[in-house]
Amino acid sequence: MKINLKIISASFISSDEKCDALEEKKLVPKMMLRRRLTRGAKIAIYLASKVGYEKERIIFGSAYGEVKATVDIVESIYNKTLLSPTAFQNSVHNTPASYLSILSENQSEVTTVSDLFDTSLSVLKTGAIKALKGDRLLLLNVDAFNFDGVKEMNSYSISKLESGVALIVEVTDEKANISIENIKNSEISPSLWQMLEIYNKSKKLDNPIVEIEI
């Protein structure tokens, strides 16, 4: 089965260590909420603002989840120190999408996908099926794993430790002009490759439409 998705808007951000200029104060005016945000949540909220997110249903993907929060918890247990309630709250995969929903007062469906290096492709396939309902969707894929000890985990020697891609899509009967070729990018986690590929290709087209094979 093949489903064609029209790319309404797209955005991408990445950094070797920490993405700057995420406009937190503008996008999250409440200081208490802003202080609780994880790096992944800040990236997700920023990307959503760039693609014109308007409370659409969300398909959120993260291969590694909130690694830093999890590391903080493990270190507290190991060192027998008091666990941080915020770290505990933020240690789940859907944290960025949840903060985005709270901030936007979104009551629509949120689906979280984690499929290691196939996460990006799984987000696209899940989004394509969900899009058959006829409404627009926000597809988000974020990984932020800049934490002490990342070198031991980073077997791919990825240089960009924070990255995210956002797409606003809707199903269409129009002919596709983008196909997924699984183009590799040595700087970015493989978990984002397919969505990054679509972002790069869509920038060159007036009416980008990608074919997703289910």
Q: What percent of the chain has pLDDT over 70?
A: 95
Task: Record the tokens describing residue 157, joined without a space.
Answer: 């020697």
**For residues 140-158, b (16+ Cβ closer than 10 Å) or e, as one string?**
bbbbbbbbeeeeeeeeeeb
Instruction: Indicate the burial class of 31 (C-beta count within 10 angstroms; 0-12, 13-18, 19 or more).
Output: exposed
What global pTM score does this model have?
A: 0.92
Residue 76 is predicted with a pLDDT of 85
Higher pLDDT, 70 or 176: 176
Residue 17 is predicted with a pLDDT of 85
> Of 210, 206, 104, 204, which is closest to residue 167 (Cα–Cα)?
210
User: Is it the case that residue 72 has pLDDT exceeding 90?
Assistant: no
Residue 83 is predicted with a pLDDT of 81
Average pLDDT in the 202-206 region?
Answer: 96
> pLDDT tens across 80-103, in order?
888 888 888 888 889 999 999 999
> pLDDT tens across 35-48, in order?
999 999 999 999 99
Q: Cα-flanking dihedrals φ and ψ of residue 137, to 5°? A: -130, 150
Q: Cα-flanking dihedrals φ and ψ of residue 112, to 5°? A: -110, 135
Q: What percent of the chain has pLDDT over 90?
A: 70
Average pLDDT over the chain, rounded to whole? Answer: 91
- DSSP summary character for residue 178: B
User: Is it the case that residue 207 has pLDDT exceeding 80?
Assistant: yes
Torsion-angle region of 139 (φ positive above 0: left; ψ -120 to 50: alpha; else: beta): beta
Residue 157 is predicted with a pLDDT of 66
Cβ atoms 118, 141 nearer than 8 A: no
